[in-house]
Amino acid sequence: MFMSETKRIFSRPLLYVSFIVGVLLINRPLLEAFFEPVDSASITQILSVPLALSSFSPFAAIFCALPFADSFCEDFNSGYIRSVVSRTGVKKYALTRCLSVALSGGLVMAGIITVTIIHCGILADSPDTPESISFMRNSIWMRSGIIFVMNGIPYLLLRVLFGFLFGCVWSLIGLLISTVLTNKYVTYIAPFILYQMLWFLLNETMWNPVYMLRGDSNFIPSIAFVIVYQMVLILILIFSSCLLIKRKVRR
């Protein structure tokens, strides 16, 4: 069933819309660099521009929820869920739905970050040095020293991993909401509203999941914290969504 759901993910136009619009939005500050000469800069310096100055971060949750978070709504409202559950059982359906939704959001966000890193790598023309990235001196990246390990490859891979986990979290939040209110438009909009609320209510605390995409905030304790925190959120969201799907289907 999971393989068929994976094919279903890649057959949805919203997956590609989210990816393309996300890539264009986050890379908007860098597009002018293709047409105008820029000062010498390293990949880490250039990468800080789209992550900090684009309009992507405030809307990031939407790009996670759009691809597939509404899939339960579609199955439930169309009655398709009954035929699937009769063949596979509600437990298997619920778990597969959670994993496929998490995968959709994770892939979109990881893809957006990967394309952005490649773009920055093309524009970069000097190596990272402690002086060139001194503006990050209080971040987890400088504190860990990982930026200078193996020419920064582990650092860039962790950026992609952060994006993947972030995408999983916010797509699953959309799914969780859809198990309560089976309306696809609410599924798209509610994660964004919650995202903005958490940004305000948990501002400048390490528990704000909004900051997990970039991991640049000075109050985040470590790289491990970002990974473990998001994985715990994913497990909680999967458990909660599975429970609510079972109750919804068995009514």
The answer to whether residue 125 sits within a structural domain is yes
The answer to whether residue 35 sits within a structural domain is no
Total domains in the chain come to 1
Does 1 have pLDDT greater than 80? no
pLDDT of res. 37: 54
Mean residue pLDDT of the chain comes to: 91
Q: What's the whole-model pTM score?
A: 0.94
The answer to whether residue 222 sits within a structural domain is yes
The answer to whether residue 47 sits within a structural domain is no
The answer to whether residue 83 sits within a structural domain is yes
Domain that holds residue 132: 61-249
The answer to whether residue 87 sits within a structural domain is yes
pLDDT of res. 216: 87
pLDDT mean over 173-179: 96
The answer to whether residue 88 sits within a structural domain is yes
pLDDT mean over 209-232: 93
State the sign of the Cα–Cα–Cα–Cα dihedral 197, 28, 185, 187: negative
pLDDT of res. 39: 65
The answer to whether residue 92 sits within a structural domain is yes
